[in-house]
Each structure stands twice: as C-alpha cells, then as structure tokens.
Structure 1
Amino acid sequence: MRALRPATRPDLPALYDCVVTHTRTTPLRSSFRHRTHLWLVDVDHLPRLPCLLRPLAGFHARDHFTATARSIRAGVDGYLAGQGVDLRGGRVVMLAHARVLGHVFNPLTLFWCHDRRGALVCVIAEVHNTYGQRHCYLLRPDADGTAEVVKDFYVSPFFPVDGGYRMRLPLPAQELNVMVQLRRGGLRPFTATVRGRHRPATAWNLIRSSLRHPWSTAAVSAAIRRRGIVLWLRRLPVYPRPVDRTHEGRT
C-alpha cells in the first residue's frame, strides 16, 4: 500500500510497535509492561491520511506546549524562543502518540531539534500527567544521546517533586530505545523504557497497529490509572499534588 504522505526522508513518517516498561525498586518492587504504537514524524510534514483513516491518527497543536500555537512547529519554536534557542528553520522530529478517535494522552513526547545543517541542537521532553498538566524539559544530550535534568514537575502521586532524571534519547532509526530514570538521593527508584521497531507508515501498517492496539491512547491512560490503583492498594505512600496552574494545558 502507498505511504500516507511522501516523506522528506525515506524513514519518515514512521510507526513503531512498542513495549513500554515501568519498573519501581523502592519503597516496594513493582513493574508492568504495556504494548502500544508510536509515530515518528517531521513536524513540518505531518502525515496526511486518507479520509477513512483520519480518526485513527490526528496531530494537533492543541495537544502540545501551550495549546494555543497555530501549529506544532510554531509551538516548538515558541518554546525554544523562550529558552534562547533559534533553530533558524532546522528540522524537528517528534515521537508521540497521535490523537485516536478524539482522544490523546502522551506521558512523554520527544522533539529532536536540529539546525539548518542537520546537527542536533537540543531535545525537548514534553511530559503530561494524568491531571491535565504538561511541562517541558530542554535537554542537551551528549554523543551517546544521554542527558540529565532536575525534576520540577509532579507526575506520579507516589513520588515527590525532587531528584532528577537521567534520560537516554537516541533519535530512533530501525530501533526505538528510549529510557527515563528517576534518581533520588543516590537511588534509582523508577525506570521507564520504550522499545520498538520501525515500520513504514503505510495505510495497511496503521490499520494493523490499530487492530493490535485498539484506541491506543485511551488504553495507555487507563493502564496508568489501573497501575496507580494497584500501588495504592499496596499502601504505597501518596504525595499530594502541588497547586500550580502554570503547567495546565488542554488535553
């Protein structure tokens, strides 16, 4: 079947069938795995789906950054301008869930930001929590794709807002291999990994992924909430969410 849109490179847009793993080591040991699929797209050349497939994948500016930009690209540039970064039109590659059947939830969206020559300038890690809030971290990965940043956003009710993250964020190619690890006081209490394999973004591959992972974004949101209930029933301490409206956004 034909690709959903001619891409600026042969590998984009792309689909990744993924396994997401969450592992906790303290104060109790717990882990779970969830299967889903993610998109890797050039934000200047978003997929154009046939009419009948559009409910299965939508990409909207309101799902990212301030939710008020005219496009995802404008949202990226606006955020970077506030950080003193100007890509001067360089390429931005986004890894994310698309909006499916009107619903989207992206625990982590990644933007690899390049200059005009194609050199990586930075990575934006946009984090969403289940309370309708979002927050961005500006990262400068090293040659191995690894970066560290102080945690300053409430995500899980089972961790306070302290410590920092170590992230491994190589730009996906045939393989997707992303890792986010929370570090607190010399401990590594939580690690999340996302591993997947590249598939061309054809209509057939989208249909197949949608059948394998029906209503994938709602399933991700439900899985996180179910896991939270399990941890609460196991009497894992809960940290109240700080009142902070600066992170609010429409989801």
Structure 2
Amino acid sequence: MNRHSALYVGRVRHSRFRPRPHALSYRVFWMLLDLDEIDALAKRSRLFSRNRFNLYAFRDADYGDRSGRPLKEQVAEALAAAGIGWDDGAVRLLTMPRILGYAFNPVSTYFCYGRDGNLRATVYEVHNTFGEIHSYVAPVGVEARPVRQEAEKRFHVSPFMGLAMRYAFQVEPPGERISIVIDGHDAEGRLITASLSGERHTLDDSTLLRLLATHPLLTLKVTAAIHWHALRLIAKRMRWCTHPAPPQHRFSTGRAATPHPKGSMQP
C-alpha cells in the first residue's frame, strides 16, 4: 500500500483585479506522487502507468529538464543550487497526470521533506503554453504554518502580464486537504490571485475510474480553458505584452516570507 501518494479533488481559481476585473474557476483533481512510490503504484494499478500509455500515466520526461533523468536527482540539484540544505528525504509531486496520453500542467509543485519528516523546501515548476519550463525554488521556515514564501517573477506565463512582478505564496502542505495561493504584485499593488485547493482521496483504480466520469478529459479542458479565457481578455482589450526570452537558468531562488497577521491571506 502506498503510504504517501494520494489524489486531491478540488478547484482552481484565478482572479485579475486590474485594469479590468476577470475571474475563472473550474474543478480539477491532482495526483500527489511520492517519487519513491510511483513504480509500486503503477505495478498495482490497471489504469495508471509510468512512462507508457494508459488511461492515466506519469511520464518522467514531462518534467524537469525533460531528459527523463530521475526527478529526485534533479530536485536535489535545484535545492543545492539554491543553497537549501536537504538530506535526501521524501519528494512528493503534486501534478495532473496524463489522461489518454495528454497532459498540460500550468504549475506542478514538489514538496521536499527531510528524513525527519519536516518540510524543508518547495519547488514550483511552471509550464507556459509556449512549451517553456521554469522553476521557483524556496525554503520553508521550520515553524511556519501555513508556509509563506516570496519570489521575483522571472518567467513569462501570460501575454497579458509583464515580468515586473513579485509572487507571494501561501501553502497548506498535503494532509487531509491541500491549498496553494499565489498573489502577484506589481508596482501598483496586488494584480492577480491564483489558488488551488482540494480534499484528499485514496489513489486507487476505483477512485480513478470515478474521476474519469466526474472530470472527463480534464487535462484537455485545462488547456482549452486557458485559450478561451485568453480570447475573453483580448475582447476586454487587455494590454498585450511581448514574449521575452526565457531565463538563462532553469531555477530561480525564492525566500521564506515574514508571517502576516492571522487571516490576512485566505484561499
């Protein structure tokens, strides 16, 4: 039995506050995959496979440097480059699987634990619709709950937002529920808020089959929703930002943030 891998079923929300308000919300589910458990999960499941076609699949080359190298090894490199101490504990990846061979993950999150079970760092791997990938690596304060982190925006995601922004993350790590809230601030204040939240479910074939009925073609719908809302933003005459060159490095380093007063940020 997998000890830590699970499914989370919930919702993604995105709000833009200026110059013209815009919001979206849709139902989503994610897999939380302990990188050391994926092979055992695939061996037990008829519906989930690793690196081969199935109803649900995980493909290593969709992530990191896309070479197919062990992802835990790549995470270790990212943490070392960021100067974050880590003792090769568990790494659990929150992501959407391939469904019938197709996947697109705007953000996948690696939760990096020490051998003592404490969360040491997170890696936010961002994919844009132009086929580019960049990751934000940030440490976790020992007693910080919820986790709060900050990072300067380095990677082009939307043609309707420039790079002159700062991200503020608020994270409730995986448990019976999960929550990640990302506020984007520019020189005028908060510009956007994006969040995901979900409740934990057992990762087994019966749940996967049920989710196929309740969330059909999920990953394709995520891509379709991105383009549909882009058309709506064009109709609202939002300013179009030129696509800059991608960052020279695959990783940007964030930092643990000073806690805000209780209740100041909510999913």
Assess same fold via TM > 0.5.
yes
Aligned in 2, Cα 1:121/1:52: closer, same or farther, shift over 3 Å?
closer
Segment of structure 1 superposing worse, 186-195 or 130-139: 186-195
Q: Is the 8 A contact 1:61 1:75 kept in 2?
A: no
Q: Is the 8 A contact 2:7 2:29 kept in 1?
A: yes
> What is the CA-CA distance between 1:127 and the residue it aligns to?
0.7
C-alpha separation in 2, matches of 1:182 and 1:39: 25
Equivalent of residue 11 in structure 2, options 8, 14, 19: 19
Matched, 1:42 2:38: no
C-alpha separation in 2, matches of 1:86 and 1:99: 32
Q: In the alignment, what sits opposite 1:61?
A: 60
SS in 2 for 1:153: coil
C-alpha separation in 2, matches of 1:83 and 1:245: 16
C-alpha separation in 1, matches of 2:78 and 2:190: 30
Q: Is the 8 A contact 2:78 2:137 kept in 1?
A: no
For each residue in 1:177-216, what CA deviation from the matched residue of structure 2 results, as whole angstroms up to 9, or x when unmatched?
A: 1101101114111101111111111211111112111121
How large is the RMSD of aligned CA atoms in angstroms? 1.8
SS in 2 for 1:169: strand
Q: Is the 8 A contact 2:45 2:204 kept in 1?
A: no
Q: Is the 8 A contact 1:25 1:189 kept in 2?
A: yes
Aligned in 2, Cα 1:109/1:235: closer, same or farther, shift over 3 Å?
same
C-alpha separation in 1, matches of 2:102 and 2:73: 22
Count of aligned pairs: 240
Q: In the alignment, what sits opposite 2:134?
A: 135
> What is the CA-CA distance between 1:244 and the residue it aligns to?
3.0
SS in 2 for 1:31: strand
C-alpha separation in 2, matches of 1:66 and 1:38: 21
Q: Is the 8 A contact 2:48 2:55 kept in 1?
A: yes
Q: In the alignment, what sits opposite 2:46?
A: 51
After the TM superposition, which residues 151-170 of structure 1 pair with which residues of structure 2 at under 5 Å, given as runs?
Answer: 151-170=153-172
SS in 2 for 1:230: helix
> What is the CA-CA distance between 1:242 and the residue it aligns to?
0.7
For each residue in 1:208-237, what CA deviation from the matched residue of structure 2 results, as whole angstroms up to 9, or x when unmatched?
A: 112111121111111111101110111111
C-alpha separation in 2, matches of 1:151 and 1:162: 7
Q: In the alignment, what sits opposite 2:239?
A: 237
Aligned in 2, Cα 1:238/1:93: closer, same or farther, shift over 3 Å?
same
Report % sequence identity: 29
After the TM superposition, which residues 104-115 of structure 1 pair with which residues of structure 2 at under 5 Å, given as runs?
Answer: 104-115=103-114
SS in 2 for 1:154: coil
Equivalent of residue 198 in structure 2, options 186, 191, 196: 196
Aligned in 2, Cα 1:213/1:231: closer, same or farther, shift over 3 Å?
same
Q: In the alignment, what sits opposite 2:180?
A: 178
After the TM superposition, which residues 78-157 of structure 1 pair with which residues of structure 2 at under 5 Å, given as runs?
Answer: 78-85=77-84, 87-142=86-141, 143-144=144-145, 145-157=147-159
Q: In the alignment, what sits opposite 2:208?
A: 206
C-alpha separation in 2, matches of 1:152 and 1:241: 12
C-alpha separation in 2, matches of 1:247 and 1:57: 31
Q: Is the 8 A contact 2:14 2:24 kept in 1?
A: yes
Query: Quick one: which amino acid aligns to residue 245 of structure 2?
Result: V
Query: Quick one: which amino acid aligns to residue 63 of structure 2?
Result: H
> What is the CA-CA distance between 1:50 and the residue it aligns to?
2.7
C-alpha separation in 2, matches of 1:247 and 1:33: 32
> What is the CA-CA distance between 1:90 and the residue it aligns to?
0.7
Aligned in 2, Cα 1:126/1:53: closer, same or farther, shift over 3 Å?
closer
Tell me, which stretches of 5 or more residues in structure 1 are unaligned? Answer: 1-5
TM-score (norm. length: structure 1): 0.89
